[in-house]
Chain A
Amino acid sequence: MSLVNFTSREITCKIVYYGPGRSGKTTNLHYIYGRVPETRRGRMVSLATQTDRTLFFDFLPIDLGQISGFSTRFQLYTVPGQVYYNATRRLVLQGADGVVFVGDSQARQLDENIESLQNLQSNLLEHGVDVRTMPLIMQYNKQDLPPELILTHAELDDALNFRSVPSFPADALHGKGVFETLKAVSELVLKKLATGSPAA
């Protein structure tokens, strides 16, 4: 799915925001959507229920313009977090070049985080992708909540980030950490593309 097309001189990166339900994946995309100049972004497609839960997926195409002679586009997707939408998640995950795992910093959501992480691993495996080869970034969202409710960056790293991938504390609602995350995953993806072994 990801493309470095030398003939048409295009780079297309598909980045999937993964994570448990209500962890803030769509919020990430919304924040990015709000910051990208209109000329650079496509229509954000969001299929949501009436209570703003992502039903199918969110899709935000961003056109970065010409970079090194390549017309560069990012496609940002979110998956529906709820457990029972696994088929959709697997579908969305297909052809991803990079994954942002948006974890919920709340202490009581730790199990959901772990479950979602395992789900990510198994879904990638379904596509024949080893999670260790997939550019992955951890984002611990909702760090703006009262400290007594959340785990710290270090604690979350201990609990979730056993591969020691780059991780960022975030407050997606107000934008903290959103672009840092996007930047980090872009870097990983682009570097991987450069090595000539694009993800499946």
Chain B
Amino acid sequence: MTSALNPRFSFETFVVGSANRLAVTAGRTVAENPGSAYNPLFIYSGSGLGKTHVMMAIGHAAKTIASQLNIEYLTLDEYVEAFHAAIAAGQGDAFRRRFQNVDVLLVDDVQFLTNRKEMQAELLRLTEALQQSGHQIVLASDRPPAEIADLDERLISRFSGGLVVDIGIPDYETRVAILRRKAEERGSKFQPGVLETVAKVEYPNVRELMGALNRLVAFQAVNDTPMNAEAASKVLGIPTGASPTAASSAAASSAAASSAAASPDEFSQFLTDVTVTVGKAVEAWRARVTEAVMRWEGEGYRTGRLEKLLEQETPSAVDEAIAAYVQDVERLKALESEVAVLDPQAAGGKVFRDPDHMDEAEAAAEKVRDGAAPPPAPSAAFPFESYVAGPSNDVALKAVRDVIAKPGKKYNPLVIVGKSGLGKTHLLNAVGLELAKKKKNVVVACLSTQAFVDELIAAIDGNRVDWWRARYRRATALLLDDIHLLAGKERTQEELFNLFNQFLDGDRQLVFTAPAHPNTLDGLEERIVSRLEGGLVAEIAEPDKELRRSVLERLLTQQHVSLEPALVDYLADRPIDSVRSLTGVVQRVVEAAAAQDGPVTAGLAREVLEGAPPPRRTTGLRTSGIVVSSAGGVRSREKMVWDWPSAGDRVIEDLR
């Protein structure tokens, strides 16, 4: 039923001036010694001058000093309502007891006691009870007790028996202080003179003053520019040099006042108009040149060339001269932005601001261009031609061909997924090489994710992150190998995320490789994963026999080994699950042949690969039966399943 104390209304936030000092002092005293100093304390003032603020401040202060105090703030209407509810519920006594137990009772708006005889009687009883038990009562009204119409004499004398204080209209200094305090609270900054201008207006109460401030705050926020005193006057409709209350007196001599106030404006307005007219008509060419000078000077470019034009009487081909100048400036801008990408530190130099020395700017840009390291390019060791196609990689290969044909348009990003050793890196670099071949000014960044991370760390270390970013931003395609290595690299993920967006926005191609579907990779941020999944995820499966055959033929040809069908058949039939392993096997066989100084044959291969079978586990263990040389093609023994689970176990596994 009672209102909570508004935490904003404390003594700390109340601006004290001569008009309210007494009320505040009395309020503080009451808060410090409730029930003993001024009881009751009666505060009255016009609307919006801070009665409620002081009341609540008393409550806060009393509570701060003695937290166990039972403090109740309510308006008279709330009090009346509570009383009626209690009477209706037959709880009149409980109601009285409740309020008699309040240590500090703050009742606002008691002027509404007018014509409420029974409430007056009730309040009288309560006041007496509180006073007797040493509890504080504070009342607020818009007029002194004696002026509240139809108020019981006894109440008047009770109310007047403590201390009756009023709060007046704040003076100019207080108004300025209030405005400053409130502007600060709102986090708004005004130019000097603005708040003073507002304060000059004698608003009848602080609430209206706040309204004026709010308007300024809103206006300034909308316009995003600091307003000056004149603009503030305009916004608030304050006539220059006159306040609303002074308006009536000013009205008498309005003719004199307005003409005096208007005089400078009329002339300056005229001057402005004439200036515009002259600028438009009389000196059209001069205006154009001046405009160009002002514009480019404002942007920091040297305008000596244009200024020379102004010195001439009737220069010929003014527009051509301006156009040539603008063209030079545009060239400077282009050079500078190019340089900014390559080396942010080099940009912003004076040399890029002087259109009269274009040669110097060109030279400076050339220097930066020479020194700028392009992002790592794809390795030439992985040409597209040598990538062997087969059913296991045809989807990926098809996607790659599309990407090469329409970089950035068809599948962006393209994520090539597959187990280790299946040729993802080869394919990635091959894409890079093909993209780089397509056009002249193509910059393909192709590197491993680990290198990407390391570069960023080095850039952070060397305080060159901008430069690092710029390098990649100017790439027309970004190809990252082993994207799963980003796991846990938060900063790199963030950088990649930003690059990602820029690349996508600019239709620049992104290609990644990963050992598994992006959404199964741990440690990647959701935003990265979703973007990776947003393109095409193309899988490369384990090489089938046909592919193995093709790869073998190519490998053997590279080693200058004659393609003996028996050899190729034997090797292709080997249970090898990746191209990389296949390469290793061929390498081993070829080396063995070289050691024996003999030809590479199927027999030799068998000898090399099966000659020394691994020690087999003998006792009671089921084995796969796959025979692999101890130093055989399968380097990683962990990849082989030596021990198969029993059929029963497998059934249970399947059921699960």
Contacts and interface: CB of A to CB of B under 8 A. Distances in A.
Contacts of A6: 313-314
Nearest to B271: A64
Interface in B262-288: 262-264, 266-267, 269-271, 273-275, 277-279, 281-284, 286-287
A194 B271 contact: no
B282 A186 contact: no
A25 B273 CA distance: 22
B252 interface: no
B274 A183 contact: yes
B269 A191 contact: no
Of B262, B270, B290, B314, which is in contact with the most chain A CB atoms at under 10 Å from its CB?
B270
Contacts of B286: 68-69
Interface residues of B, number: 26
Contacts of A34: 259, 263
A70 B279 CA distance: 10
A69 B631 CA distance: 92
B647 interface: no
Given A68-B278, A193-B282, A186 B267 contact: no
Contacts of B290: 68-69
Nearest to A67: B278
Interface string A155-197: 0000000000000000000110001001100110011011100
Nearest to A62: B267
A186 to B, nearest CB: 5
Given A11-B282, A194-B282, A194-B284, A67 B266 contact: no
Interface stretch (A35-43, A78-86, A123-131): A35-43
B267 A35 contact: yes
Contacts of B262: 35, 175
B275 A67 contact: yes
Nearest to B283: A68
B310 interface: yes
A7 interface: yes
B255 interface: yes
B267 A70 contact: no
Contacts of B278: 11, 67-68, 70, 72, 190
B281 A194 contact: yes
Interface of B: 255, 259, 262-264, 266-267, 269-271, 273-275, 277-279, 281-284, 286-287, 290, 310, 313-314
5 smallest A-B Cβ distances: which pairs?
A194-B281, A35-B263, A67-B278, A68-B283, A194-B282
26 contacts: A6-B313, A7-B313, A11-B282, A34-B259, A35-B263, A35-B264, A64-B275, A67-B274, A68-B283, A68-B290, A69-B283, A69-B290, A69-B310, A70-B278, A70-B283, A175-B262, A179-B266, A179-B269, A182-B270, A183-B273, A186-B273, A190-B274, A190-B277, A190-B278, A193-B281, A194-B284
